[in-house]
Amino acid sequence: MSRMPADDHSPLSMKSDRTVGIHQSLRLELEMSTDQLVPDVIIAKEDPGKPTTMDDVVDQADRRSSIGSTPNDSNHISPEDSRPSETLWKNSRSRVATIDQNSDVSQLRWVGTVFVFFPNIPWDYRFENNGTETTGGSSAEARGALVGLPIRSITIGLLENIMNYVIPDDILLSSDRKYISGDHLTRLIVPWARDLLSDVRSSSDSLLSLPHRGKHCWNLLKEVAVALDDAVYSSSDSLLIGGRNTALGDMLCAVTIMLAALQGCLRAIWSFWDFESIVDGTRMLGEVTQLLRHQFSNLGWGEQGFEEMERVFTGGLAFSAYAMTCEPTIQNGMTVDPTTYKPEHVTPGCSCEYLKPSLDSICRFLDDNKVPVVFFDGSDLQVRSASGTPYVAISHVWADGLGSTTEEGLPRCQVERLAGLASKLIPDGAFWQDGLCIPEERVHRNLAIALMAETYADADKVLVLDGGLRTACKVSSPKEECLLRIATSGWMQRIWTLQEGMLGHELHFEVMDGIIDCTHFNGDSFVMARQVFPLLAYREGDPSLLTYKRRLETPPRCNVNDLIGLLRYRTTSKPQDEPVAISGLLGINTRRLVDISLGPERMKDLFIQARELPRQLVLFGWMAPRLSLPNFTWAPISLNSILWPGSPDDARACICTEDGLFGEFTVVRFPPVLVWDSIGILLIIEDSKHEQKDTSHKSGSHAHRVFNLVFSPPFVREKFGEEPFYVGGFIMDGETIVESMREGPVGAVVFPSDVPDVPHPVHNYTTQTCQFVAPASFRFGVPDKVETARTRLFWSVVYPTVEPLAKVRLT
């Protein structure tokens, strides 16, 4: 196998008269830092004296720096595994890459179903010692393996090894040679990836040479990502906060996005291999995500920029980077002030009269529990019953200017526009729109709201009107552009529109020059569409053919766990409306909720009606406010603040009744501790028959393991202010306590002694009562020394007991 001659453009400089491949050099950096991956947190039981303070625990941990084990990377494929077949696909590095610099990059955004985007990458960056202090005793050598390397080493050098080409710098550099052009990277990589994907799909040798090539490429990419991650994060604190190292931040952001895009290409090509995630397992991902958040908010996306970007992030780093290059979506998702709100005309300066339907007719149908619809005869609005009448239900946000009531009506120009759009979808042009069909008068307004789910479920078609989508997209626009505008639209930000978008038989969107439906995203954009527009998962046709259904015969039904993900970052101007706005998706009694005037009581009743709830509803929601109702202090005020649903495969769902929440949780219990502020607790857990761990730890089978418990500062400040609070343990969903550096969500609780036991409402077995205190996180190891320097003296050390999957009543 021939190698490139060493020159100024080789990935690395000469060592001992031979060229070292970039992956070999970066593996050296990885090996040098391996012993820093697992902190020292195992304390041998035979140590004299039990630690009683946080400093004692840290001191004992520091004295045993040799104890612990490096995680076994069982998914890593050694280079030797791929060598026997390298000759089947590797040619001489004499092939020189070329690109067509005039090709349209907008036609090079997809490799299979993977969206691809490459940013510009600073060219003149060199790794330097950042001068920050090390963590956990990491050495200067671990940090210095990449010092002095040019950016070429982890960009063009990596690509040369993956693609097996000689890549001249000039074909990728900008004209001023200040950065590697993202467009040129796209022109180089995407055609190569598409050709290789075609080879993998069609080659008879795909079970021999091509999988080995995939493993080889994956290893190269992983070694670069891990080594870069370790080289950059030898410091305990963020490198991107406060502009402390802008050059490093810019480089890190661009290179991480490039690595993520390459990872996507490789996954698309070798989709039959279950490759581990590379970029998702790095520390730099969180930093880059945070940096993108700041950049996004500085690009004029408005007050809702954070929520918009979170939705975009679900499409991955490449899609997020693409969004940064686009003009902001017109922002019409803001909360409106009903005291000053007025409907808008179609064009500025128009002063046409208002049209309104007959209030008596609207109310008569509502009194009969029927949905009223309207159609425009060219002069007036006529009212009909929806029964037997095909109609279009309009879904919009009030901030777009279409909000009103039956009594006030809408400008004629808007009525004509709505009627014209409805006529494009159904011949008669009948439609339902809340500004015309819901009265202001309270009794009939409540009747109309109670019929909202039925209104959209019975509509022949639902048409979404959003100013951002209408002004930014055409029928011919790239699919990624349409998905971006939907994901960042005002319509996607509101709680009410979730039900409206899911229940209709057909879902359509108005764009600048026409109307599109869900099938617009068939094909390559199928997977991305479901990621950034999650309700499309309920409109899947044949996933193997990458198709969505144009029409649903029956409306979908959700459970509470489903709604947690669907409601993420959606809001409503009236929080008390949330239970009503989602009740139709749960199939529960909406009218019963409407008759309850107080928002907290409505949410409590929604949980009782839903009855079966996920355990994660209690554990997730770091900043989620909770109800202040007896037996319901565990319950969130809003589902949209929980953010992440639990596993749909969790067989241990809870049962909710007036007496609280009944379920199975692992209970970690210790003597009550008085806690000030959000200062945490160190837990030293002794192995028991319930907690047998692997024997890879050299400390012997008799050992204590150290964990830390931290409470949500926003929640604690909101609920307790400056007052202390008691904690007697916590509940978690896992059956065993795992030695993981990843923070796990738990619920801090106390165990009241004066409360009688209440049997399970279905199985009638005895339960133990836990009163919810606060959301908390639980993690293996001692907390960071820098982060806890001020509070170290106030941390408590406890020796808890663990009861796996106890029968619990949560109040």
**Structural domain ending residue among the three candidates 301, 325, 349:** 325
pLDDT of the residue at 337: 75
422 with 506, same domain: the answer is yes
- Residue where the block lists tokens 């929640």: 715
pLDDT of the residue at 118: 98
**Structural domain ending residue among the three candidates 280, 302, 325:** 325
388 with 272, same domain: the answer is no
Contacts of 190 (CB under 8 A, 6+ apart): 108, 109, 111, 116, 265
200 with 163, same domain: the answer is yes
Residue 149 lies in a domain: yes
Residue 230 lies in a domain: yes
312 with 378, same domain: the answer is no
Residue 39 lies in a domain: no
Look at residues 503, 529, 527, 528 and name the one whose alpha carbon lies nearest to residue 516: 529
3-state DSSP assignment of residue 31? helix
pLDDT of the residue at 430: 97
**Structural domain ending residue among the three candidates 325, 356, 387:** 325
308 with 403, same domain: the answer is no
Q: Are strands 392-395 and 431-432 parallel, antiparallel or unpaired?
A: parallel
538 with 673, same domain: the answer is no
Residue 221 lies in a domain: yes
Q: Which region holds residue 322: left if phi is over 0, alpha if psi is between -120 and 50, else beta?
A: alpha
| 10-residue averages of pLDDT along the chain (811 residues) | 35 31 39 33 45 60 42 41 46 78 94 97 74 37 55 92 93 95 98 92 61 85 86 58 66 93 94 81 83 79 64 92 88 68 93 97 97 96 95 94 96 97 95 98 97 97 95 94 93 94 97 96 96 94 93 94 92 92 96 95 98 95 95 96 88 95 97 86 73 43 80 93 94 90 92 90 95 95 74 87 96 97
Instruction: List beta partners, residue 655.
Output: 612, 662
Residue 167 lies in a domain: yes
For 299, the domain range is 88-131+140-325
Could you tell me the two tokens for 656?
Answer: 């909710």
Q: Are strands 744-750 and 18-19 parallel, antiparallel or unpaired?
A: unpaired
Total domains in the chain come to: 3
Report whether 548 contacts 526 (CB < 8 A).
yes
Residue 604 lies in a domain: no
Residue 785 neighbours by CB distance under 10 Å: 13
Q: Residue 760, CB half-sphere, CA atoms under 13 Å: how many?
A: 14
318 with 356, same domain: the answer is no
547 with 637, same domain: the answer is no
| DSSP notation for 587-644 | T--HHHHHT--SHHHHHHHHHHHH-EE-THHHH--TT--B--STT-TTSBS-GGGT-S
Look at residues 108, 90, 93 and name the one whose alpha carbon lies nearest to residue 4: 93
- What's the CA gap between 282 and 259, in Å, rounded? 11
Residue 34 lies in a domain: no
265 with 390, same domain: the answer is no
534 with 652, same domain: the answer is no
286 with 399, same domain: the answer is no
- What's the CA gap between 189 and 115, in Å, rounded? 13
155 with 180, same domain: the answer is yes
Give tens-digit pLDDT for 32-43.
333 333 333 333
Residue 799 lies in a domain: yes
Report whether 684 contacts 797 (CB < 8 A).
yes
